[in-house]
Structure 1
Amino acid sequence: MLTDIFSFRYLKHPVWISYGEVEQRLLNQLMGIADEAIPYYSSDGKEIESNKEKWKLLHNRLARELGIDELSPRYYSYMQKNGYGTEMPVSGFWGWNHVCSKFVKAPFNPQIHSPDRFIKERISLIELVLRLRGEEITQLNANLPQAILEAQLRSKQSNRGMRIPGDPTEGMKAWNKAQNSAYSELIDEANVRFWRAGAPLTYHNGFIQVSSDEVVEKNIAKPFWDLISSAEWVNVDLDMKEALDRRDSNDKDPAIFAAKALESAIKIVSDLKGWTRGKETGASSYIDNLISKANGSFLDAWEGEMLKDYFRKVRNNLGHGPGSEPMPALSIPQTDWAIETAMSWVRTLIRRM
């Protein structure tokens, strides 16, 4: 199975030109965050079997993408004297978390890797850990109603004997909230660690991506990613990530994918509000649904015209063959504008719902 990892997405986009104390500290800190996201040991020092399997899965996924058998040697063997002074062989296998940790914290050797490749490969593991935990949190949230019902059922059954104090519904909600809060705090810490290390990176919804403008990240990107984290916005999420990856790797037409993300958001709003008639022919028709007086003028007419103009000038200009004319292309500042504008529109659409 192919796994999308940070080091391949940004293979042609240099981030680090040197490796020193700051970079070493960053990797150690990020590994600590990964350990908290998916703990390998319980409070009594025993391996958590379910998490042991997760670390094995994470190890194998990254090792396959990097084309190696092991991230770090798992088998160990050495001689040790016993109580009688006789040397005896000792051998075994390190735990999967230990192997991953040794990989992330390995000494840098400039004879083998460039600083950029070395750090990117290790950050790829952190990305996979946070992505896996994020997927678990999403599943926990989706299963919350069923978990509440099961907790209520257990409470009713226990009432036949000794009564367990407390509202099971509130207890389950509080536990779910605590899981979400703990994960959000880890993401926030990871992003702060990147910033303190001078690395222009942020983690959002499963992916670490380049973020070159701190103001844009704080005021546009972060609110955008927070708002589209639920399942109904998955296509918006995927296309915007594609836009950013194409921009950062200098690939073709990143703005088209930003426009696709915005168009999906417009369609979703129309669908969720019950305004979609099934006869729409494109983004413009869906925008008409949003500005319709019959639908309460979700957007003012002038806002609708601005949206339509975005698609005319960005998506339509790039999405059609130019014939004998020069191939249309946006400059780097124009591409940034197109992506940031799409993010801003998606953000305001969701907030108005």
Structure 2
Amino acid sequence: MKTVTDSPDVHIKERLSLIELGFRQKENEIATLNASEISESEQLLASLSPSSLRLPDDPQEGARKRREINTAAFRASVDELNARFRQAGYPLNYHNGFIQISTDDLVQKEVETPFWMLVSDPVWKNVDLDMKEALDRRDSDGRDPEFYAARALESTIKIISDQKGWTHGGEKGAHSYIENLASKKNGFILSWESTLLKEFFTHVRNPIGHGAGNLQMQTLSRQQTEWAIEFSMSWIKNLIRRL
């Protein structure tokens, strides 16, 4: 048996890193498989599966059902891992390949968990990456995590505008894309929602995204940063669910 020579902190972090890598590898394998065409070997495996799995008789449908079962089993494993973190009193949560800090159980349940499930679709890969960057910077007291959270929200708005065919090419920033969603013709969001989103970009994102000049550079408190991240997550989740 290997002797623990490092500090308990390093020892635990190494084990958590190993768990993170294992889950990430399995998640990537499942995502790659689900994105590919169903192979003949998968159809053969489905046809040879025990009747207890209740797979469809059609090999193609059987293979697709088998993928769904494997995906659901992995998600159940993720849920169990996160439940064990909570039971142990560790403020940690695994999502989309990373273990990151989570400090609020209610926000975790109602906002973060559904958020990460929604942005796991490849369409939202930039949203996923920017939000992970926001959390990493928040957890390490890095610079401007709220900027990356806002960028994830802006990407979401742009993607929806593009998908709906509302992007006209003359947009000059987040406000223009918000107007695409809020126009009377499109009606994807209401006027008051448009105002709320624009105010967020005006007062939270823009002062960081542009040079401060001779003015004092804006900095948010820890609580304000967490609010900005939760605001962005909540809006992203809500907007995607409207599609």
Partner of 2:85: 194
From 249, 260, 283, give the equivalent of 2:174.
Answer: 283
* Residue 130, structure 1, aligned to residue 20, structure 2: no
1:294 deviates by: 1.9
Deviations 1:209-260 (A, max 9, x none): 0001111111111111011111000000000000000000001000000000
Relative to structure 1, the CA distance from residue 327 to residue 291 in structure 2 (aligned partners, 3 Å threshold; closer, same or farther) is: same
Query: When the two structures are superposed, what TM-score results if normalisation uses the length of structure 1?
Result: 0.63
Query: Are the counterparts in 2 of residues 148 and 168 from structure 1 also a CA contact under 8 Å?
Result: no
* Residue 247, structure 1, aligned to residue 138, structure 2: yes
Partner of 2:53: none
From 157, 166, 169, give the equivalent of 2:60.
Answer: 169
Which runs of structure 1 show a deviation greater than 3 angstroms over 4 or more consecutive aligned residues?
148-153
Query: Are the counterparts in 2 of residues 261 and 342 from structure 1 also a CA contact under 8 Å?
Result: yes
1:281 deviates by: 1.5
Q: Which runs of 5+ in 1 are unaligned?
A: 1-101, 156-164
From 91, 94, 98, give the equivalent of 1:203.
Answer: 94
1:138 deviates by: 0.7
Q: Distance in 1 between matches of 2:42 and 2:145?
A: 47
Partner of 1:184: 75
Which structure has more helix as a fraction of its residues?
A: 2
1:150 deviates by: 8.2
Query: When the two structures are superposed, what TM-score results if normalisation uses the length of structure 2?
Result: 0.91
Deviations 1:141-162 (A, max 9, x none): 111xx21788789x9xxxxxxx
Deviations 1:287-320 (A, max 9, x none): 111011222x000111111111110011012222
Relative to structure 1, the CA distance from residue 150 to residue 186 in structure 2 (aligned partners, 3 Å threshold; closer, same or farther) is: closer
Partner of 1:351: 241
Relative to structure 1, the CA distance from residue 152 to residue 114 in structure 2 (aligned partners, 3 Å threshold; closer, same or farther) is: closer
Partner of 1:312: 202
Within-5 A mapping of 1:39-50: none
Q: Distance in 2 between matches of 1:166 and 1:132?
A: 31
Q: Distance in 2 between matches of 1:126 and 1:151?
A: 28
Which amino acid in the other structure matches residue 166 of structure 2?
Answer: W
Could you say which structure has the larger radius of gyration?
1
1:337 deviates by: 0.3
Q: Which runs of 5+ in 2 are unaligned?
A: 47-55
Instruction: Give RMSD over aligned pairs.
Output: 2.1
- Count, aligned residues: 234
